[in-house]
């Protein structure tokens, strides 16, 4: 039994288990829009969605009030409203690479299951997706 399976047995996290990620085209368009608008600063948002039949379906973005940061995706978890979900996050890099920084990896581990980074010039091809361990993750735009 691997560690994840053990954890899911202990904490009953099976309802958070998924094998595919689907994300609405509208959400992708929003990410591009907000990333362009925030430039030269980062934008940061959380994902809203649901898991059904082992598919994580992301259908909206959740914004934290007053959050802007030039120092990576740092968020104060104490300020988070009680989240109905903790699916993951997206933020932009006002630079040429969508690879996660050390800070990003810490955020990924804390902030959910699926994460995206978009870099300049902010189009659909500039988006990379990761799991909570910072490993590349496939997704499907629907
Ligand atoms: Zn980052």
Q: How far is the CA of 124 from the centre of ligand 1 (A)?
A: 17
In Å, what is the CA distance from 40 to each residue of 3, 36, 63, 70, 118? Answer: 40, 8, 18, 9, 13
Q: pLDDT by residue (tens digit) across 52-106? A: 889 999 999 988 765 554 444 445 555 455 455 578 999 999 999 999 999 999 9
Q: How far is the CA of 45 from the centre of ligand 1 (A)?
A: 12
pLDDT at res. 11: 57
Q: How far is the CA of 14 from the centre of ligand 1 (A)?
A: 29
Dihedral sign of CA atoms 44, 50, 56, 57 in order: negative
* Residue list, CB under 5 A from ion ligand 1: 72-73, 101, 104
Kindly state the helix (H) or strand (E) to which residue 88 belongs, with its residue range.
strand 88-93
What pTM did the predictor assign? 0.80
Q: How far is the CA of 13 from the centre of ligand 1 (A)?
A: 27
Classify residue 100 by burial, with Cβ atoms within 10 Å: 0-12, 13-18, 19+. buried
pLDDT at res. 82: 47
**Rounded mean pLDDT, 15-39:** 93
């Amino acid at each position: 039994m691997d560690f994840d399976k053990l954890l899911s047995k202990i904490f009953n996290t099976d309802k958070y288990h998924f094998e595919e990620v689907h994300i609405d085209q509208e959400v992708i368009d929003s990410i591009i829009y907000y990333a362009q608008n925030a430039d030269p600063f980062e934008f940061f948002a959380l994902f809203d969605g649901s898991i059904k039949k082992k598919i994580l379906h992301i259908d909206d973005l959740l914004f934290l009030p007053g959050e802007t940061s030039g120092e990576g995706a740092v968020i104060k978890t104490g300020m988070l409203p009680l989240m109905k979900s903790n699916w993951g996050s997206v933020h932009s890099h006002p630079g040429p690479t969508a690879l996660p920084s050390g800070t990003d990896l810490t955020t990924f581990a804390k902030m959910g299951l699926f994460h995206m980074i978009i870099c300049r010039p902010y189009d659909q091809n500039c988006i990379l997706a990761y799991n909570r361990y910072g490993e590349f993750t496939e997704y499907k735009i629907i």
